[in-house]
């Protein structure tokens, strides 16, 4: 039986700075800037029953072109609601509290209302895993003509010299007009990040994404780099934090990376962007084209889109679920809802035991949403 569930809220209903609060009857209302009491606008999203979620759910295993984030293949569960297909694909190591935000996003996407689009396509960057320089061309070619590349750095088992060599190869490929941003996924310590910023400065970076893990470190690094004109972007400090706005309030970042799935959906991410008061970059999490479509529709709904979006990552997949994957064309992807191809769903169906694992995960996350516990109520997730 369907009921109303409190909207996915990083931080939980009672968390300081929580954007969304439960309303009467276990519905929710985002506390946007338009309401006198902080209340707004979006209607409650009905929580489908578990049976409804499972009715057409498919689990797929998609191979990657290159190892990324420590994995060689990506598992995802696809759900079908009244508005079409959506993707539930939290990384395997995420606990149920964190994963339930991704489920809320998938439900909001396929069962909730669409955000009004302001553009029909969005500019994207290429994303380069932490590969040696000789593999740069092979991995960037599938993105086509893009003006911006995000380079992964600070990979475990590598050193700063590896990062410098990779970034140098990308700068050579792009020429002086190209934009390069680097993403350390919080892996550097403060001094290490400062050394890296200096070593990479000759390559004229657009920004440094999540160089360190904590908000305090980001704030200190930003102060140390004040004269370098190297903006700091926060990613994990937004999407994995109990309070996604804490980093903005602390003055610890120049811009925020926002992702629809971990923030509980397109409308929740829009509310965070509005309240943060900082420029945002829309990105994704190595999703299939179905999940990337949700990100593209988030980017399409933002009032301003000053940075190219990290939504070109279908090019990192060696196989996808859509007959026409959401690959960049002339540096843009279409802001569409993407439908999977039944034949591809069959071809890439996950092994039976993996599908069972995902159904159990879905069930536990659904239970959290139905109980109103939502994501992150257990406290801070590691940043
Ligand atoms: Mg990142």
Q: How does pLDDT run across 328-367, given as a tens digit for each residue?
A: 999 999 999 999 999 999 999 999 999 999 999 999 999 9
- Tens of pLDDT, residue by residue over 263-281, are 999 999 999 999 999 999 9
Of the ranges 103-117, 193-207, 288-302, 362-376, which one carries the lowest mean pLDDT score? Answer: 362-376
Decide which of 43 and 152 is more confident. Answer: 152
Could you tell me the distance, in angstroms and rounded to a whole number, from the CA of residue 115 to the centre of ligand 1? Answer: 24
State yes or no: pLDDT of 382 exceeds 90. no
Q: Which residue has the higher pLDDT, 155 or 373?
A: 155
CA of 128 relative to ligand 1 center, distance in Å: 12
Between the CA of 354 and the centroid of ligand 1 the distance, in Å, is 27
CA of 114 to the centre of ligand 1 (A): 26
Summary mean pLDDT of the chain: 87
Residue that wins the pLDDT comparison between 26 and 179:
179
Ligand 1 centroid to 272 CA: how many Å? Answer: 17
SS3 label, residue 349? strand
Spatial contact of 289 and 325, defined as CB atoms under 8 Å apart: yes
Res 33 pLDDT > 50: no
The total of other beta-carbon atoms located within 10 Å of residue 145's CB is: 9
Distance CA 169, CA 103 (A): 39
Q: How far is the CA of 210 from the centre of ligand 1 (A)?
A: 7
Q: What is the distance in A from the centroid of ligand 1 to the CA of 112?
A: 27
Q: In this structure, what are the phi and psi dihedrals at residue 39, rounded to the nearest 5 degrees?
A: -90, 160
Kindly give the distance from the C-alpha atom of residue 338 to the centroid of ligand 1, in angstroms, as a whole number.
24
Residue of 49, 77, 38, 79 lying closest to 354 (CA atoms): 77
pTM summary value: 0.86
Query: Which residue among 239, 259, 366, 368 is the active-site one?
Result: 259
- Measure 282 CA to ligand 1 centroid, in angstroms: 10
Domains and CATH numbers, the chain: 3-114+345-371 (3.30.390.10), 121-341 (3.20.20.120)
Give the pairing type, strands 28-30 and 126-128.
unpaired
Report how far apart, in Å, the C-alpha atoms of 355 and of each of 134, 185, 348, 349, 358 are.
37, 29, 12, 8, 5
Say how far apart CA 339 and CA 346 lie, in whole Å.
14
Note the pLDDT of residue 168: 98
Measure the CA–CA gap between 333 and 309, rounded to whole angstroms. 9
276 Cα distance to chain centroid: 17
Q: Which residue has the higher pLDDT, 252 or 375?
A: 252
Q: What confidence tier does 374 reach under pLDDT thresholds 50, 70, 90?
A: low
Could you read off the pLDDT of 75-118 as tens digits, one per residue? 999 999 999 999 999 999 999 999 999 999 999 999 999 999 99
pLDDT tens digits along 45-54? 789 999 999 9
- The confidence score (pLDDT) of residue 375 equals 66
Residue with tokens 């001094």: 191
Strand partners, 80: 85
Burial class (CB in 10 A: 0-12, 13-18, 19+), 246: buried
Quote the ligand 1 centre to 218 CA distance (angstroms).
Answer: 14
Q: Does position 302 have pLDDT exceeding 70, yes or no? A: yes
Helix axis angle for 160-174 and 190-200, nearest 10°, is 30
pLDDT at 34 over 60: no
How would residue 225 be classed by pLDDT, with cut points 50, 70 and 90? very high
- Mean pLDDT, rounded, for 368-382: 62
The residues that bridge with 76 in the sheet, in sequence order, are 60
Site of tokens 């990479």 = 200
Q: Which are the contacts of 120, defined by CB distance < 8 A and separation ≥ 6?
A: 300, 334, 335
State the greatest distance between any 2 C-alpha atoms of the chain, in Å, as a whole number.
Answer: 59
User: What is the token pair recorded at 104?
Assistant: 């809320």
Catalytic member of 21, 152, 267, 332: 152
Start-to-end CA span in the chain (Å): 36
Please tell me the distance between residue 41's alpha carbon and the centre of ligand 1 in angstroms. Answer: 30
CA of 236 from ligand 1 middle (Å) equals 7
Is residue 259 part of the annotated active site? The answer reads yes
DSSP state of 5: -
């Amino acid at each position: 039986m369907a009921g109303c569930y409190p909207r996915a809220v990083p931080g939980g209903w009672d968390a300081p700075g929580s954007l969304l609060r439960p309303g009467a009857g276990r519905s929710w209302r985002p506390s946007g800037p338009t309401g006198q009491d902080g209340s707004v606008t979006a209607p409650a999203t009905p929580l489908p029953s578990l049976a409804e979620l499972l009715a057409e759910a498919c689990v797929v295993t998609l191979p990657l072109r290159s190892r990324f984030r420590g994995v060689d293949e990506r598992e995802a569960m696809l759900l079908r609601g009244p508005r079409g297909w959506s993707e539930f694909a939290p990384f395997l190591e995420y606990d149920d509290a964190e994963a339930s935000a991704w489920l809320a996003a998938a439900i909001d996407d396929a069962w909730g209302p669409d955000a009004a689009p302001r553009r029909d396509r969005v500019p994207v960057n290429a994303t380069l895993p932490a590969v040696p320089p000789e593999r740069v061309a092979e991995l960037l070619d599938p993105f086509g003509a893009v003006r911006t590349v995000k380079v992964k750095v600070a990979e475990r088992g590598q050193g700063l010299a590896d990062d410098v060599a990779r970034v140098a190869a990308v700068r050579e490929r792009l020429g002086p007009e190209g934009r390069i941003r680097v993403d350390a996924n919080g892996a550097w310590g403060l001094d290490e990040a400062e050394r890296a910023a200096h070593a990479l400065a000759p390559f004229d970076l657009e920004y440094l994404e999540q160089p360190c893990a904590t908000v305090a470190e980001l704030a200190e690094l930003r102060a140390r780099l004040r004269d370098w004109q190297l903006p700091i972007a926060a990613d994990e400090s937004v999407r994995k934090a109990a309070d996604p706005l804490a980093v903005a309030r602390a003055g610890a970042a120049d811009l925020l990376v926002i992702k629809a799935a971990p923030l509980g959906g397109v409308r929740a991410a829009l509310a965070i962007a509005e309240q943060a008061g900082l420029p945002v970059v829309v990105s994704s999490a190595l999703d299939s084209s179905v999940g990337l479509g949700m990100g593209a529709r988030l980017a399409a709904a933002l009032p301003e889109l000053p940075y190219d979006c990290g939504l070109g990552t279908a090019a990192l997949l060696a196989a996808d679920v859509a007959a026409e994957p959401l690959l960049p064309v002339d540096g843009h992807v279409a802001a569409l809802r993407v439908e999977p191809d039944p034949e591809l769903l069959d071809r890439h169906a996950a092994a039976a035991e993996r599908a069972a694992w995902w159904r159990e995960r879905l069930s536990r996350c659904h239970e959290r949403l139905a109980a109103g516990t939502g994501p992150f109520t257990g406290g801070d997730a590691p940043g």
